[in-house]
């Protein structure tokens, strides 16, 4: 942050997980510095009292305390935290078999991010659906100049979810080669039906979007 103040460069902070980091970024934004940041779903859902002796709970930064989790949510609500990303890390089963101490850092998150956040933050009324879409899509697209607008004539890049469909997260069904997820066994709402990328269907559930 001191270097941003000195140089005027743009700075994006990845994997924010502590209350101290949230406050530093909040202060930088108040100063008008060009700083944005992201956190990840697991830091918003878990605290360190929920850790299990299992490699699927091993990531860097680690899961923090409940005060940190609440600070991240407060940061999202006041605009300090701009985005939510997954830090998707598809390790092999062998690499994640060493428990909390010896497993490699990282978990998979692409296939669980939206349903977990929709279930844990939107359905209880912590965030609106529009806010979650901004955090996962609109804000990153603006900051990094990526993606296509959802409008007539633009290249189709979007995903269709059934928000009323409930399912249990089963890593063995992931398309990712990595299966290590702390959300395994959790019931969530928001089933993916269709993904279109670059104007072409990249994936479609059995029965398609008409399901």
Tell me the pairing of strands 158-168 and 83-84: unpaired
Contact 140, 157 (CB under 8 A): no
DSSP E strands, the chain: 11-13, 35-39, 83-84, 158-168, 187-197, 200-204
How open is the CA angle 91-92-93, to the nearest 5 degrees? 120
Taking alpha carbons only, the member of 79, 3, 4, 14 closest to residue 34 is 4
Taking alpha carbons only, the member of 15, 38, 16, 59 closest to residue 181 is 59
Selecting among 87, 157, 162, 164, the annotated active-site residue is 87
The rounded distance, in Å, linking the Cα atoms of 69 and 195 is 31
The rounded distance, in Å, linking the Cα atoms of 194 and 82 is 26
68 catalytic, yes or no? no
The rounded distance, in Å, linking the Cα atoms of 111 and 210 is 20
Burial code (b: 16+ CB inside 10 Å, e: under 16) for 22-32 equals: bebbbebbeee
Contact 47, 120 (CB under 8 A): no
Q: Which residues are catalytic?
A: 87
């Amino acid at each position: 942050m001191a270097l941003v103040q000195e140089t005027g460069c743009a700075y994006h902070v990845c994997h924010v997980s502590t209350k101290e980091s949230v406050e530093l970024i909040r202060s930088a934004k108040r100063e008008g510095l060009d700083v944005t940041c992201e956190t990840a779903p697991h830091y918003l859902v878990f605290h360190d009292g929920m850790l299990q002796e299992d490699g699927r709970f091993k990531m860097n930064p680690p899961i923090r305390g409940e005060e940190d989790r609440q600070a991240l949510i407060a940061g999202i609500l006041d605009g300090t935290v701009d985005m939510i990303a997954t830090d998707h890390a598809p390790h092999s089963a062998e690499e994640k078999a060493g428990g909390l101490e010896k497993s490699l850092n990282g978990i998979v998150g692409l296939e669980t991010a939206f349903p977990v956040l929709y279930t844990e933050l939107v359905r209880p009324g912590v965030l609106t659906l529009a806010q979650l879409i901004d955090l996962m899509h609109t804000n990153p697209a603006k900051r990094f100049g990526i993606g296509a607008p959802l409008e007539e004539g633009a290249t189709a890049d979007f995903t269709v979810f059934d928000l009323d469909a409930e399912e249990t997260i089963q890593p063995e069904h992931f398309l990712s080669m990595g299966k290590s997820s702390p959300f395994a066994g959790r019931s969530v709402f928001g089933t993916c039906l269709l993904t279109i990328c670059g104007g072409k269907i990249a994936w479609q559930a059995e029965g398609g979007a008409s399901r």
